[in-house]
Chain A
Amino acid sequence: MTEPIVQLQNLSKTIRGKQLIQQLNIDLYPGQITGFLGPNGAGKTTTIRMMTGLMHPTEGNVIIDGLSLKEHYEEAISKVGVIVENPEMYKFMSGYKNLLHFARMHKNVTKERIQEVIQQVGLENRIHEKVSTYSLGMRQRLGLAQALLHRPKFLILDEPTNGLDPAGIREFRMYLRKIASEEGVSVFVSSHLLSEIELMCDRVAVIQNGQLIDLRDIHNESSSFYYVEAQPKEQVSAYLEQCDFNFVAENQGYVVEMKKEDVPAMTTQLVQAGIQLFAVQPHQKTLEDQFLEMTGGGQIAEANSK
């Protein structure tokens, strides 16, 4: 694989004896969209703040395009576009003036580029109105615009679809996919909307109690599952046991781990045995199932003090 554009190396943060983040190591690659998941209080925002230089890590380092954020802050951060939580803009200025203000702090952002970005996020009609009149979704769009102004190589988004309408979310997803594949931008998205992450991302990193507990690719499960619904159940389970399949009962049927090639044979045999077959369909565990399985339920992560 290509060189990683962002590397988190042993990133740790301790505040008043509480270890919020422990030894986090993640590599992010160009053209890849990585989702960042974790229950509330797991340390997602703290990690993102350390990646953007808003917080100083107690230990470890963030390397962006070969440059350490600690030692070469200005150069390293100039390759990063950021939305941290709600993008707060200057409410007393128009959206355009906000963009102009932020553009001045970067090198090489032309007026044409500002117009281009405004068009991309679909704010042409309201850009000259004051930000205080904007809805949350419009502020999100403006936030995205300011993050994209300087053509970053790496985009960090914290809850980016919060407040966007369905069309906006879809547009946003398409747009992220486009800049990732066409411009090779690496995107790091944290979100609570698991279905959203599932549609958007190539990879997910899951964090709990400040530790990385899983980093996996989505969409290529090594083993496949099928949902089989048939009556009577005793005979079905007896048959499945006989065939040496792993299976678990779910709803009216069973979820069976089996190869695609075995499906026709199984169906024929079940029918021949006089079992009433209602449904055989591919079964995919949703990200939600996987997430809950990994993090073990909904309680807010306990800060582990030492």
Chain B
Amino acid sequence: MVAMLILVILVPAGITKYYEVKSPTEGSWQDIEQDAIQSYKETLAGEDLTEEDKAYFQEQMAISEYRLANDAPSQKDSSLASFMSFTSGMLTLVTLFTVITAASIVSSEFSTGTIKMLLTRPMSRAKVLTSKLLTTFLFGLLLYVVNVVVSALIGLVLFGMGTGVELEMVNGQVVEKAVWSDLAYHYLLSGGDFVMSTLFAFLIGSVFRSSSLAIGLTMFLSFTGGMIVMFLSRYDIVKYIWLTHSDLTQYEHGGGSMIADVTLPFSLTVLAIYAVVFLVISYSTFMKRDVTA
């Protein structure tokens, strides 16, 4: 799984680099910015523009003018930061692999019959299950770290730190984008879905002793979660199911939840309650079970 993860990061990096080397951009960056301003102006002169579009193009134009005035070139090619924000998408894969592990770490002991060897050791069942859970999360954490370190290394070797500056408009002011803290925040918020999916797969795997059911159900919920939330969004109950909250990246860039009155602390509280519920069910069924495998 680790090798697969590295491969998945390596391949798009190679492809991006290949095309960059093959088709270098022409002209100085100043010329390009001038052209861009020209085209923004033309677009703004057009008539059928919504207020939103207008604001957007005006923003872009302001940024381009700021670049020319302050000698701050844009990121011409891919840089370490842009590559890493691209590979942060691979966290889905990290979650998938961890879910597979969580789903099968208990259920496979049952299906191979080794559970009876394990449970006749002088270890209480609570200890056995705790070590399984810790192993799952340590493995997930390892994948997380591998994802970050490998994409940082590959990004650094292939693209370097980059020469340009990322800019954005905040409250009518052009400021430098806090690329790194944004990225770190993204990694942190992605942890929400990671933890919840892993715990859910662990729950189904240890209760129903079927890894395929656990993987299937977890994946199904992560694909249809959005739909279920949309479907239920008319009712108040939507606030209290974990699917509404597990994707914490909705709070990125100052964004809010698509459900009214739901804030980040509220989401975290709901997720924490569900996490405890999942664990309690996992532990109580595992401790009580008569092992006949």
Contacts and interface: CB of A to CB of B under 8 A. Distances in A.
Interface stretch (B139-147, B203-211, B245-253, B284-292): B284-292
Contact of B114 (A49, A89, A107): A89
Contacts of B117: 87-89, 102, 146
B122 interface: yes
Interface of B is mostly: loop
A82 B119 CA distance: 11
Contacts of B114: 88-90
B76 interface: no
Contact of B122 (A56, A74, A89): A74
A105 B292 contact: no
Nearest to A92: B112
Interface residues of B, number: 15
Given A88-B112, A88-B114, A53 B290 contact: no
Nearest to A51: B120
B30 to A, nearest CB: 62
Nearest to B121: A105
Contacts of A86: 113
B77 to A, nearest CB: 45
A84 B290 CA distance: 14
B292 A106 contact: no
Contacts of A80: 120
Interface string A93-118: 00000000010011100000000000
Given A49-B292, A55-B291, A105 B116 contact: no
B122 A105 contact: yes
Interface in B9-28: none
A52 interface: yes
A15 B113 CA distance: 21
A91 B124 contact: no
A53 B112 contact: no
Interface in A1-59: 15, 49, 52-56
A175 interface: no
A53 B120 CA distance: 7
Given A87-B117, A88-B112, A89-B114, A49 B291 contact: yes
A168 B64 CA distance: 85
A282 B119 CA distance: 49
Contact of A54 (B112, B288, B291): B291
Nearest to B117: A88
A56 B290 contact: yes
Interface residues of A, number: 26
B123 A105 contact: yes
Interface in A229-277: none
Nearest to B287: A56
Contacts of A146: 117
A158 B123 CA distance: 22
Nearest to A156: B120
Given A88-B114, A91-B112, A52 B121 contact: no
B287 to A, nearest CB: 9
Contacts of B124: 73-74
Interface in B266-293: 288, 290-292
Contacts of A107: 122
A63 to B, nearest CB: 16
A49 B124 CA distance: 16
B123 A74 contact: yes
A211 interface: no
Contact of B116 (A74, A88, A102): A88
Nearest to B114: A88
B147 to A, nearest CB: 26
Most A-side CB within 10 Å, residue of B112, B121, B124: B121
A78 interface: yes
Given A73-B122, A89-B114, A102-B121, 4 more contacts: A55-B292, A82-B116, A91-B112, A105-B121
27 contacts: A15-B290, A49-B290, A49-B291, A49-B292, A53-B119, A54-B116, A54-B290, A54-B291, A54-B292, A74-B123, A74-B124, A77-B120, A77-B121, A78-B122, A82-B120, A84-B116, A84-B120, A86-B113, A88-B112, A88-B113, A88-B116, A88-B117, A89-B117, A102-B117, A105-B123, A106-B121, A106-B122
Interface of A: 15, 49, 52-56, 73-75, 77-78, 80, 82, 84, 86-91, 102, 105-107, 146
4 nearest CB pairs, A to B: A88-B113, A78-B122, A105-B121, A54-B291
